[in-house]
Structure 1
């Protein structure tokens, strides 16, 4: 094991075990003949909880952290180009990525048995934001050996004691990989938006078709109701006419019966008159 491996192991150890791990590995380096490395290792400072949490992010979430640093590159490019529209587009992505990393860091810390207070969570967020804003801070965070949280104060980046941090450059290969991931994410987002727009259009067409079908069904229903009402009115009208006809028929039948009776009486009277006329003629002839 050389110094670099030992330093990584020390900062990867649980916060409570930092001193013991550092001293043990320093003894091992010295025993292996690396006295300078042992001295350098003993000089490493124990990280604050916020710094330990940032180191945990660097170890456990390297791709997500690279995405954050690549987003910082995009911010600086947009700022240099005075591209206000691009800056407005990047700002919500910045907040979303910081939120995501902060939540993931708290989850990882919980698995390590480390509680994260609101103050520690805020310092972690400031550290990650400083990494996005300042390339040197980004390199320091990516190295995973912070002993103090970072904060961007306008004129530069300082640690919790107001002192600068050591940096290790991020390779161009990792930066390009992060850019490629962000490009793929943008393409995926655009595809998803197009699919949502297509689904929205399809839903609108279906809604329009259903609305047209409902309108036709409503019209047919209203026409059927109107036809039924008209038929009912016609039935009532015919019922009335039938009742009137039956009443007229009854009156006519009564009139026929009355006329028939009068006719019979007139016929009897005529027969009686004829009989009386014959008898009167006979009496006249005998005179």
Structure 2
């Protein structure tokens, strides 16, 4: 079977992965049907595009809606990797702090943007989003995957081992692609009314109220995440103190055992010397006894 037009596939993918999550599958299938007769290869490739996970969709949305913030994250990542390569300690520490602040802030913004588009982001999904942004900072190839806006799964990287991105992006060409920025998450719609809407003020108030509710929900989620993160920090700090105390006790006990081992070695050496002396005494006493016994035997013979 012939290969599809990769540029055309990227164009369709860019459009589909920028849609609201519930719209992805019906829109993908509709495009595949639309292309089936004029371009069956492209139709099959479009049909094979996988629906993104919630975390991947949130990152794809963020790349299109908050391109400047995502660009800052990726720029910090490039600077951080350069500082690591050059072993610039002070700069590395400063960039690491900036990385944590940025990823936390951008993740919070991602939750708000997702809420604006009707998608609630759970703490678990938020963790995956933050892990994906962190991977983009630590790994240049992950950064390219994020920039494409064509993720189908979240990413994770330690910055040491290479990440297999083949199953993480919609198409292999995604790693050289940059998502098209968008002002909002909806497609342009034609104007249906040419006269003012008498309900405009009420609708505007309701829309504003909904935005406030969404923002409050996003704020509450961010506060929950902060509380959980602070509790985790306290837990790990307490555990760290406990482990350090255990290490100190083990070091003290090890020093005592080493000192005791030295004393045992000295006593063992003295005991071995005493044993050697005793063995010599036994040998000499045995020789003297044997000589006395022989003399006694000779005397007995003479007497007999």
TM-score, normalised on structure 1? 0.55
Q: Once the 2 structures are TM-superposed, how far is the Cα of residue 158 of structure 1 from its aligned partner?
A: 4.9
Q: Once the 2 structures are TM-superposed, how far is the Cα of residue 14 of structure 1 from its aligned partner?
A: 1.4
Taking the aligned partners of 1:28 and 1:170, their CA distance within structure 2 comes to 24
Residue among 161, 167, 170 paired with 1:155: 161
Taking the aligned partners of 2:81 and 2:18, their CA distance within structure 1 comes to 31
The reply on whether 1:121 has 2:95 as its aligned counterpart is no
* Higher relative contact order, chain-length normalized (CA < 8 Å, sep 6+): 2
Q: Once the 2 structures are TM-superposed, how far is the Cα of residue 90 of structure 1 from its aligned partner?
A: 0.8
Structure 2 residue aligned with 1:7: 13
Higher Rg of the two aligned structures: 1
Structure 1 residue aligned with 2:208: none
Residue among 36, 56, 64 paired with 1:30: 36
Q: For residue 176 of structure 2, give the secondary structure of its aligned residue in structure 1.
A: coil
CA deviation string 1:170-224 (max 9, x = no partner): 78xxxxxxxxxxxxxxxxxxxxxxxxxxxxxxxxxxxxxxxxxxxxxxxxxxxxx
Alignment length, in residue pairs? 168
Structure 1 residue aligned with 2:175: 168
Structure 2 residue aligned with 1:43: 48
Structure 1 residue aligned with 2:211: none
Structure 1, unpaired ranges of 5+? 172-287
Q: Once the 2 structures are TM-superposed, how far is the Cα of residue 80 of structure 1 from its aligned partner?
A: 1.2
Q: For residue 12 of structure 1, give the secondary structure of its aligned residue in structure 2.
A: coil
Q: Once the 2 structures are TM-superposed, how far is the Cα of residue 4 of structure 1 from its aligned partner?
A: 2.5
Q: Once the 2 structures are TM-superposed, how far is the Cα of residue 15 of structure 1 from its aligned partner?
A: 1.2
Q: For residue 153 of structure 2, give the secondary structure of its aligned residue in structure 1.
A: coil
Please give the root-mean-square deviation of Cα atoms over the aligned residues, in Å: 2.1
Q: Once the 2 structures are TM-superposed, how far is the Cα of residue 169 of structure 1 from its aligned partner?
A: 3.0
TM-score, normalised on structure 2? 0.52
Mapped contact 1:102–1:125 kept (Cα < 8 A) = yes
Mapped contact 1:130–1:157 kept (Cα < 8 A) = no
Mapped contact 1:3–1:41 kept (Cα < 8 A) = yes
Structure 2, unpaired ranges of 5+? 1-6, 179-304
